[in-house]
Structure 1
């Protein structure tokens, strides 16, 4: 695999930003592509530093695009950059222009951990004809419930950041953050959704709630839980497992 580190000026977020890119070197393009998103305390380098994603990408012969989105929840922020526009419009257009990435729905995937799990499903639910599959690992999928967890645990350090993202009134729905509402109102066929969460994770109950609500709306969602916490050991094992599952499901 070839590993590239790219920096460029994003118009959507109004600043220089970074992307880590893995490209296959054993097959001819165009390449199948996984957009892989980081969590709250990470950046574009996290998956490369903390997981074996390069080995998995080489095994599957897929390109992997890992952008930096800061503390944005993959959202067009009320007070900040237009990060959803960046990841869903500007980034793929630039990557497809610079590199030999397939633009076919059946060759594109999106996944992420924690905050990135939210971002991955948000993109897939908004633009379902873009992806063959989408996955969330320990995803922060229901922001309103996450805010309640922060309040109950006395975690007030994130409040100013969340207000910058969703506004002073924390209006998640107004900024496109209600994923269940998106499932309910989307008229196009959704791609298969995959959801993984450890039973010791602080977002475990939140993930079970999302699963139940999504299934009540007849969403095609594969759900798996098991021993694990909000840790890289869990996420590394799950992305490996998910890529195998895509093979099993004839989606990769």
Structure 2
């Protein structure tokens, strides 16, 4: 909740007199009267808004922000109908958003190709989290990262995956298809990116940290650097299964603001549970519900053993050791050991810290310097954090 600040009451000059008095004071001091705030820059035109399975509108500036823009789009991938004969969630093509941070000189240097960072949000989060809570514009500016940052919707509990079978709502979300097979080429088609593996990075926090590592392992042909901030790295752990189960059963499926439901559905909708996700339908049965053979290809610790991260020269893991991150820290250590066993030595930063934004923002700042070759000697600005050998 925001509170309005109070000041002692005082006599106020009529507006015209106050304006004139201020102008005289400035002139006496040899200062110029401040010019009106500059109008928001005209958004760049998207040359291929309908392409690669995506139907999108034009960029819309985010009010009062740095060069941040939103684009609203639809795709068949998010809610894939399972049985055409059965009723399903409506609409099947809900509008979702992607927030994009453009370099400050993007429109004045049209011939310059830019690198691209895909930055993923966490569970029960939203596409704008990294700007509203993560202060992405200030972090990138301070790190000298004047490149493109793409912040896509990932679902409240989508887990950055293609769901194996349908939910009771008769849909099988295909987040991986949307992000990797549609959004990445769509961004390259509509913005002046390098369009290369060397110029493409991915990172995320919590559920998005899992998603970033999962995508990095499965699509090592697309990215040259990856990072997980408080990431899930081992989905076979009992605590991880419990967390995933809780998220997919309790969190609404709508890929909008947390707590929002699609169309007419609300918290008072009868039989609302049918529009939420039972765990067994995510990557296939796990050890509680059946065989786990399908899980290795979804699991970062197993992807490390399979040498899927070996092509990376810039790989980073960050986790606190306090409550909220304690169990995560153990799985990060496991992944670190699996990577080292295969000759991969990532940047691993740990220390006293929990599952909150102040730590994730410092993690991102460290990662941005790391990928640009600065490689800070100390791990983030989190007090007491150290670099694990």
Q: TM-score, normalised by structure 2?
A: 0.59
Q: Deviations over 1:153-175 (max 9, x none)?
A: 9x963363433322354666526
What secondary structure is seen at the aligned counterpart in 1 of 2:198?
Answer: helix
The answer to whether the Cα contact below 8 Å between 1:36 and 1:64 also exists between their aligned partners in 2 is yes
**Matches of residues 11-26 of structure 1 in structure 2 within 5 Å?**
11-14=76-79, 15=93, 16-26=95-105
The answer to whether the Cα contact below 8 Å between 1:7 and 1:17 also exists between their aligned partners in 2 is yes
In the alignment, the residues of structure 2 paired with residue 215 and residue 173 of structure 1 have an alpha-carbon distance, to the nearest angstrom, of 24
The answer to whether the Cα contact below 8 Å between 2:310 and 2:342 also exists between their aligned partners in 1 is no
Tell me by how many angstroms 1:44 deviates: 0.4
Which residue of 182, 198, 219 corresponds with 2:303?
Answer: 182
Q: Name 2:258's counterpart in structure 1.
A: none
Structure showing greater relative contact order (alpha-carbon pairs closer than 8 Å, 6 or more residues apart): 1
Q: Deviations over 1:79-121 (max 9, x none)?
A: 3211111111101111111222221222111000011111111
Q: Name 1:10's counterpart in structure 2.
A: 75
Q: Deviations over 1:205-239 (max 9, x none)?
A: 12112212222222232211012100001101110
Q: Indicate the RMSD between aligned Cα atoms, in angstroms.
A: 2.4
Q: Name 2:282's counterpart in structure 1.
A: 165
1:141 aligns with 2:233: yes
Residue correspondences, number: 247
The answer to whether the Cα contact below 8 Å between 1:143 and 1:172 also exists between their aligned partners in 2 is no
Larger Rg: 2
Unpaired runs of at least 5, structure 2: 1-65, 80-92, 167-171, 250-276, 376-389
Tell me by how many angstroms 1:180 deviates: 2.8
Which residue of 57, 60, 84 corresponds with 2:145?
Answer: 60
1:72 aligns with 2:192: no
Which residue of 201, 218, 224 corresponds with 1:126?
Answer: 218
Distance verdict in 2 for CA 1:54–1:83, change over 3 Å: same
Tell me by how many angstroms 1:249 deviates: 5.1
Higher helix share: 1
Q: Deviations over 1:129-159 (max 9, x none)?
A: 32221000000111111x43564x9x96336
Unpaired runs of at least 5, structure 1: none
Q: Name 2:352's counterpart in structure 1.
A: 227
1:36 aligns with 2:119: yes
Q: Deviations over 1:7-46 (max 9, x none)?
A: 1112221433211101113253321110000111211011
Q: TM-score, normalised by structure 1?
A: 0.88
